Amino acid sequence: MTSEVKELVDGVLHRATAEVGLDVEYVRARGNTVFARGRDGTGVPVADFLGGYGALLLGHNHPDLVAHLANLLAQETPVLVQLSSQPAADEVVRTLNRVLHREFDVDEPYFGVFANSGAEGIEVALKHAEFDRGQRVDAMRAEIDENIGAALSAGLAGATVDGSVLGLPVGSAVDEVVEEIRVRNAAAFATGPRLIALSGGFHGKLVGSGQLTHNHDYRSPFASLAAQATFAPANEPEALRAVFEDARVTAYDLRITETRAEVVRRDAPVFCALLVEPVQGEGGIVPLTAEFAKQVQELGAEFGCPVVVDEIQSGTGRTGTFFASAQLGLLGDYYVLSKSIGGGLAKLSVTLVRAARYRPEFEMVHSSTFAKDGLSTSVAAAVLELLEAGDGALYRVAAERGRRLSAALHEVRAEYPEIITDVRGLGLLQGVEFGDLSTSGSTLAAQLQAQGQFGFLASGFLLHEHRIRLFPTGSAPNTLRLEPSVQVTDEEIDRLATGLRALCALLRAGDDQGLTAF
């Protein structure tokens, strides 16, 4: 009976993870440790380097947050009191503004919109950006209509205009030119939103956000449901410019002087948003270069395209600053936060919108029953208090633990350069990439790698032989992602290094039996 019930949820997924011994039940979790149910029923401690896909910067069941949540329940704190005043939500956004102003050295306010998950936070940004774009289109249309009206009423109706910009004769009648402008602009303003995202990027799996996620398998079957993005390669500044140039759409306006009218080109507001992760997470832990970040900022300004910085995984202190983008000098029009801002206990996201872009009317057209609930916002406020305490001591811990982790990984790489081809990341967001294993000597590893499954074999081995929990990402199956909490110890980092060494030695020796002995 039990096994039948289990099959009703993710049965296929569980059978796949069971093949490499990853179908473990965890019965308790605290700090950087999860306890797996052992054969005799006792909890076997496992060092957690997966960290709830990066949602556990503060660790599992942080005692201060558990006490805070328990207290909220004991106090009968209102959880769902929509449309009433929500002091915890206000406090979260006020604190986020303070942190953002400090890290980017700016003073423009950012308005906050709450939602329930990372993907939902992205959809909030997307919807808001399109709402804003629609109003920008309306404003340009009205402005051009006004100029046309002025031209016609200025007694220019009988005059001629140079229509060559529109492919009309130099001496075209004003009426004819106006008609052509109207036709062209109707098409320009009906252009769908231009959405630009990066290859390897991940922004969620909902209907809209899923189309911004690069992975073909997650995106393609659902392409008919939502607006499509154009994907530019990450860290290639000129390629990004080419995508913008290519997507540009021209509208036409009339500029009037006292005696004549002139046809001028304008860029139609077709750019809805450009989405970037400062460090791509699910795509294989790829930090953006400062040069690319600069290009993102410049092109966003040049083409009037809002920049959405997805800090869902990289943000909330994981990389040593609250915003990873602060280290790149990349100031966004939107920021999306989720994962660790819930302290591992609450589910929420916060989308921040820069005041210059913010459309207050959006508040009347977007909402969710559970968004901005009393528990998640209060836990988030407590998380921010922990992070900001002691002049940001925990950011420094994340940076120091990240350096310690990175140094240990680089040492292993130096010993097995033909197996581990790259170690990269920022702070406590690190990736270990395995090279081509087809000539490694391990038939099994080569075979699994060809199927995109090698990372799962490595994960099973490290779990059973070294009590290390980690995974590759869905989109970069040769890269193991490491996102431990700030509570990760030297012993755990050393154990990870020992486990990786043992794995590399087996691969080098082609010892397939050793790889699957567990």
Residues that bind ligand F0G (CB under 6 A): 53, 117-119, 122, 202-204, 277, 281-282, 310, 312-313, 338, 473
Report in angstroms how near the CB of residue 312 gets to ligand F0G at its nearest: 4
Residue type present at position 249: V
Q: Report how far residue 31's alpha carbon sits from residue 485's, in angstroms, rounded to the nearest whole number.
A: 7
Work out the angle between the directed axes of helices 490-509 and 374-415 (0-180°, nearest 10): 50
Report in angstroms how near the CB of residue 278 gets to ligand F0G at its nearest: 9
Structure tokens at 419: 């197996």
Place of tokens 């690190």: 430
Report in angstroms how near the CB of residue 471 gets to ligand F0G at its nearest: 8
The 10 Å Cβ neighbour count of residue 459 is 22
Beta strands at 194-198 and 229-232: parallel, antiparallel or unpaired:
parallel
- Which C-beta is closer to ligand F0G: that of 172 or that of 479? 479
- Which C-beta is closer to ligand F0G: that of 275 or that of 299? 275
Nearest alpha carbon to residue 111 among 365, 300, 351, 378: 351
Nearest alpha carbon to residue 137 among 176, 187, 212, 177: 187
Residue 120 has φ and ψ, to the nearest 5°, of -65, -35
Q: Are 404 and 494 in contact (CB under 8 A)?
A: no
Report in angstroms how near the CB of residue 348 gets to ligand F0G at its nearest: 10
Report in angstroms how near the CB of residue 208 gets to ligand F0G at its nearest: 12
- Which C-beta is closer to ligand F0G: that of 200 or that of 269? 200
- Which C-beta is closer to ligand F0G: that of 185 or that of 327? 327
Q: Report how far residue 308's alpha carbon sits from residue 353's, in angstroms, rounded to the nearest whole number.
A: 9
- Which C-beta is closer to ligand F0G: that of 277 or that of 492? 277
* Residue nearest ligand F0G, CB atom distance: 118
- Which C-beta is closer to ligand F0G: that of 47 or that of 275? 275
Strand ranges (E), 443-494: 468-469, 471-472, 479-482
- Which C-beta is closer to ligand F0G: that of 207 or that of 301? 207
- Which C-beta is closer to ligand F0G: that of 203 or that of 495? 203
- Which C-beta is closer to ligand F0G: that of 48 or that of 253? 48
Q: Report how far residue 382's alpha carbon sits from residue 97's, in angstroms, rounded to the nearest whole number.
A: 16
Residue 514 has φ and ψ, to the nearest 5°, of -65, -35
Report in angstroms how near the CB of residue 473 gets to ligand F0G at its nearest: 6
Contact residues for 126 (Cβ-Cβ < 8 A; gap 6+)? 195, 208, 209, 212, 272, 273, 308
Report in angstroms how near the CB of residue 71 gets to ligand F0G at its nearest: 26
Contact residues for 148 (Cβ-Cβ < 8 A; gap 6+)? 178, 181, 182, 254
Report in angstroms how near the CB of residue 203 gets to ligand F0G at its nearest: 5
Report in angstroms how near the CB of residue 259 gets to ligand F0G at its nearest: 56
Report in angstroms how near the CB of residue 117 gets to ligand F0G at its nearest: 4
User: Measuring CA to CA, how many Å separate 357 from each of 1, 52, 132, 282?
Assistant: 55, 33, 7, 29
Report in angstroms how near the CB of residue 127 gets to ligand F0G at its nearest: 15
Q: Report how far residue 10's alpha carbon sits from residue 297's, in angstroms, rounded to the nearest whole number.
A: 41
The 10 Å Cβ neighbour count of residue 367 is 13
Report in angstroms how near the CB of residue 388 gets to ligand F0G at its nearest: 23
- Which C-beta is closer to ligand F0G: that of 273 or that of 437? 273
SS (H, E, C) 248-285: CCEEEEEEECCCCEEEEEEECCCEEEEEECCEECCCCC
- Which C-beta is closer to ligand F0G: that of 281 or that of 287? 281
- Which C-beta is closer to ligand F0G: that of 310 or that of 373? 310
Report in angstroms how near the CB of residue 206 gets to ligand F0G at its nearest: 7
Q: Report how far residue 300's alpha carbon sits from residue 239's, in angstroms, rounded to the nearest whole number.
A: 14
The 10 Å Cβ neighbour count of residue 438 is 12
Q: Report how far residue 379's alpha carbon sits from residue 55's, in angstroms, rounded to the nearest whole number.
A: 14
- Which C-beta is closer to ligand F0G: that of 184 or that of 222? 222
